[in-house]
């Protein structure tokens, strides 16, 4: 897996491989959701994401963006994170999902993508939102693709520094 970074930034993201406008549920701008495929972190708040989720040709959708409060970190192997992953596998799978992380041992958020109205409705019960606060955002076309659900029942990460649900060691 190559390194892929995601961040919600103000204004135009510099050097991003994909980017799209983000809007709150009441239609106000929430910035730009941007992604970079590169080894080094591109901006201060960028987090690693499953690269399969990023597609410059992807259509518009909604996301649940779960991020910890400033200064808060949680071990990736915390039972709360494990249970959230179990629930993602148990429920109808969204258009895409990825945990977000900076290092190999901490859970630092998650992004879940919805496209159909039913998927959008289920975003309100995002299992990762039981861990940290979630923001519901509308995302324009140009950044988010679709990822097939993992086969299951594995919830372990393949190589401890890869975002879940990446499902290979290579």
Partner 1 sequence: MSVTRGARDANGSVGMDAVGELAVGTQVPDFDLLDHAGSRRRLSELVGGDPTVLHFYRGWWCPKEQAFFRRLLALQEDAEVAYSRMVSVSVDPPEVNAAFRAGLGARWTFLSDSNRHVQTQLRLRETTDTLNDPYVPAVVVISPDLRIHAAYNGYWYWGRPAHVELVRHLRDISRGLRPDWVPPAP
Footprint on residues 102-161 left by partner 1 (CB under 8 A): 148-149, 151-156, 158
Instruction: By CB under 8 A, name the one of 86, 106, 122, 135 that touches partner 1.
Output: 86
- Least separation in angstroms between residue 38's CB and partner 1 is 26
- Least separation in angstroms between residue 84's CB and partner 1 is 12
Asked whether 51 and 39 are in contact (CB, 8 A), the reply is: no
- Least separation in angstroms between residue 32's CB and partner 1 is 30
Q: Which is nearer to partner 1, 86 or 102 (CB)?
A: 86
DSSP state of 13: P
Asked whether 70 and 89 are in contact (CB, 8 A), the reply is: no
Distance of CA 76 to the CA centre of its chain: 15
93 part of the interface to partner 1, by CB under 8 A: yes
The shares of helix, strand and coil residues in the chain, as percent rounded to the nearest 5, are 15, 30, 55
Sheet order of strands, 96-99 included: 47-48, 4-9, 29-37, 18-24, 134-139, 61-66, 110-114, 96-99
φ, ψ of residue 137 in degrees (nearest 5): -135, 150
- Least separation in angstroms between residue 74's CB and partner 1 is 18
Q: Which is nearer to partner 1, 22 or 81 (CB)?
A: 81
Query: x/- binding map, residues 43-82, to partner 1, per CB under 8 A?
Result: ----------------------------------------
Asked whether 111 and 97 are in contact (CB, 8 A), the reply is: yes
Footprint on residues 11-50 left by partner 1 (CB under 8 A): none
How many residues interact with partner 1 (rule CB under 8 A)? Answer: 18
| Residue ranges binding partner 1 (CB under 8 A) | 86, 89-90, 92-93, 148-149, 151-156, 158, 167-170
């Amino acid at each position: 897996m190559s390194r892929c970074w995601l961040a919600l930034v103000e204004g135009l993201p510099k050097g991003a491989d994909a980017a799209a406008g983000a809007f709150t549920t009441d239609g106000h701008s929430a910035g730009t959701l941007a992604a970079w495929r590169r080894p080094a972190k591109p901006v201060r708040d960028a987090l690693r994401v499953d690269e399969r989720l990023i597609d410059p040709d992807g259509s518009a959708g909604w996301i649940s963006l779960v991020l910890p409060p400033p200064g808060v970190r949680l071990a990736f192997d915390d039972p709360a994170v494990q249970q959230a992953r179990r629930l993602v596998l148990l429920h109808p799978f969204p258009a895409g999902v990825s945990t977000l992380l900076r290092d190999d041992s901490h859970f630092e958020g998650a992004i879940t993508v919805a496209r159909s109205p039913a998927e959008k409705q289920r975003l309100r019960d995002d299992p990762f939102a039981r861990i940290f606060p979630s923001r519901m955002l509308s995302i324009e076309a140009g950044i988010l693709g679709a990822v097939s659900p993992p086969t299951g029942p594995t919830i372990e990460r393949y190589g401890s520094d890869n975002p879940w649900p990446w499902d290979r060691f290579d």
